[in-house]
Chain A
Amino acid sequence: MKVTVKYFARYREALGVDSVKVEGDFATVDDVRAFLVQRDSADVLSEQNLMCARNEDLCQLDEPVSDGDEVAFFPTVTGG
């Protein structure tokens, strides 16, 4: 399955890229996260306050993923 991953704000800067494509056998958003921590040494994705979204909706790490999904990881939001 192919998933597009987007990073924002401090994570985007820490990882030096705003988007990556990953391919693998993922069941959940957390599987995608763990894959990136391993493959890209993306340690920032292990932070406790990490937030995530699937197809532009906030979700939890146990959210199921499907082929073609867009997953995003970002630090706590600070708008307003």
Chain B
Amino acid sequence: MAIRVQSTAFDPGAEVNAMHAANVGVGAVVSFVGYVRDFNDGLDVAGMFLEHYPGMTEKALGKIATEAEQRWPLLKLEVLHRIGALEPGEPIVFVGAASAHRQAAFDACAFVMDYLKTRAPFWKKENTSDGPRWVEGRDSDHAAVDRWRK
């Protein structure tokens, strides 16, 4: 697995291509890319700052990825998350899962995102038309993670 937490921009297309490079046993790659929107909860958003918990962030993402690798037969798993200042339209997060067949890759990608949303120590502070504000967690994120507990 690969875990990257970085303040620099990344190219989602290049990340997807790298998921099956040098491994022709990969039959399926599923990826998720999250982007900064220019609006949220009724306000225009001009940008945001992503705070994190250095050390714990990497550890938490590693635990989530390890659990995904134990649940599904993956050939590659990558989790990449931006920190620091971001502008609307920029990619924030990339999760790529590669496997021989599609179902494992679909499920592992969704699993990692659902857990990342509720377990990884990141916090978004938006620069809105009404001034700066911290984004609050959503109950729907917790409902999403509950579906994997069976």
Residues in chain A within 8 A of chain B (CB atoms):
6, 8-10, 49, 53, 56-58, 72, 74-80
Q: How far is the CA of A49 from the CA of B53 in the complex (A)?
A: 18
Q: How far is the CA of A53 from the CA of B113 in the complex (A)?
A: 20
CB atoms of B137 and A56 under 8 A apart:
no
CB within 8 Å for A10 and B123 given contacts A49-B137, A74-B53, A80-B34: yes
CB within 8 Å for A6 and B93 given contacts A75-B137, A78-B137, A79-B116: no
Among A8, A57, A76, which residue has its beta carbon within 8 angstroms of that of B137? Answer: A76
Q: How many A-B residue pairs have CB under 8 A?
A: 73
A56-B53, A77-B117 known; 16 new pairs, CB 8 Å cut-off, are A8-B53, A8-B123, A10-B134, A53-B56, A53-B121, A57-B56, A57-B60, A58-B60, A76-B137, A77-B122, A78-B124, A78-B134, A79-B50, A79-B120, A80-B34, A80-B81
CB atoms of B123 and A77 under 8 A apart:
yes
